[in-house]
Amino acid sequence: MTAVENAFRWARIQAVRHMAACDQTGLRWSETTITELVTAHTSRAVTVVPFTQRAEALSGADWVWWWVDGADAYGMLVQAKRVTVARSRWNFDFGYRARGAARSQRELPRSTAAALGLLPVYALYLGTGDYRRWERCSDVHRSGRCLHCVKRAVSLMPALLADELFVSDAASTYGWSVALEDLWTRPTASAPLIPALKKQLVPELSDFLQNRQDGTRAVARSMIDRVLSARSGQFSAVSTSVASEHYGNHDQLGPVFGDVPDDTGHWGLRYFEHTLNPLRHTPPGYVLEITTGDFNEDRLASNMPGNVAGIVVVRVPQHE
């Protein structure tokens, strides 16, 4: 296990211990505390730059996460949401509107993410396995204290899929999200593609979606695979327009995939572009500054929207 993998595992263990201790005392653990535990305990293997001048004033703050390896970079804007389990119903309250806020918290991360060229993502805090009553997590679910269930205490889901109507129980939550510490696990199978979409893929994108990926590309696959899985369950027809090039020539600074299908599904949004544009050959300048240690926190913070609490940069473990 690499140092990064160890750090994420340790962070999850700390988060689950805290959740269990709160459950025993009858306390309701908070999103803010779990976010602190995860960032603090991963920080021994990843780079964490908190905007300390801001953190206190913010509740429900977003964090910018960049996943980088030697070849590519993938950026996310992450907002935490805890689950509330009542019998078999799981509730996330994605549309929570902060008191006095003009825009709901759901709109905020999306517009901030778009402005920064990031994928909006929810960090789902799912509590202990006991709290979730050890409902079947996946095909590899084990009876007893299933490790795969335990890992799910901190999971990531593309915000595009965050809809209380559809994400309302164990099966939908597990199906459309991935454990944080499994994010870079190489996908064993092809992405769930409906046949009409398969025909629209240019060769590089087809290769990306149908062959095993490693490192940062495995992280991007873990997100697009969930989106495509949700898409394959929708009944709207696939747009038949041929994939169009939205971003001009392939340049080293732009998205890795310039040529993607236009399909919008029932979201009314070009979801390939939405999910894959944050995959770039080179991360933005502020990420390079952070990785070389040559940055000024105040200047970084002043260039970020007010709801961003800090930046995390992870060098993704690679297997090959």
Residues binding Zn ion (CB under 5 A): 137, 141, 146, 148-149
**H or E element that contains 267:** none
Q: Contact, 181 vs 38, CB < 8 A? A: no
The nearer residue to Zn ion, 137 or 205, going by C-beta atoms, is: 137
The nearer residue to Zn ion, 146 or 276, going by C-beta atoms, is: 146
- CA–CA gap between residue 85 and residue 93 (Å, rounded): 12
The nearer residue to Zn ion, 137 or 260, going by C-beta atoms, is: 137
State how far the alpha carbon of 208 is from the alpha carbons of 170, 226, 243, 255, 257, in Å. Answer: 29, 15, 16, 14, 10
CB of 12 to Zn ion, least distance (A): 14
**H or E element that contains 60:** none
244 CB-near residues (< 8 Å, 6+ apart): 259, 262
CB of 18 to Zn ion, least distance (A): 21
Among the listed residues 10, 272, 287, the one whose alpha carbon sits nearest the alpha carbon of residue 158: 272
CB of 20 to Zn ion, least distance (A): 17
The nearer residue to Zn ion, 146 or 161, going by C-beta atoms, is: 146
Query: Cα Rg for the chain, rounded, in angstroms?
Result: 19
CB of 319 to Zn ion, least distance (A): 24
The nearer residue to Zn ion, 177 or 277, going by C-beta atoms, is: 177
- CA–CA gap between residue 129 and residue 296 (Å, rounded): 41
CB of 127 to Zn ion, least distance (A): 14
CB of 131 to Zn ion, least distance (A): 13
The nearer residue to Zn ion, 137 or 201, going by C-beta atoms, is: 137
The nearer residue to Zn ion, 141 or 186, going by C-beta atoms, is: 141
CB of 188 to Zn ion, least distance (A): 18
Q: How far is CA 306 from the centre of its chain?
A: 20
Among the listed residues 275, 264, 204, 273, the one whose alpha carbon sits nearest the alpha carbon of residue 231: 264
Q: Find residue 280's DSSP bridge partners.
A: 73, 255
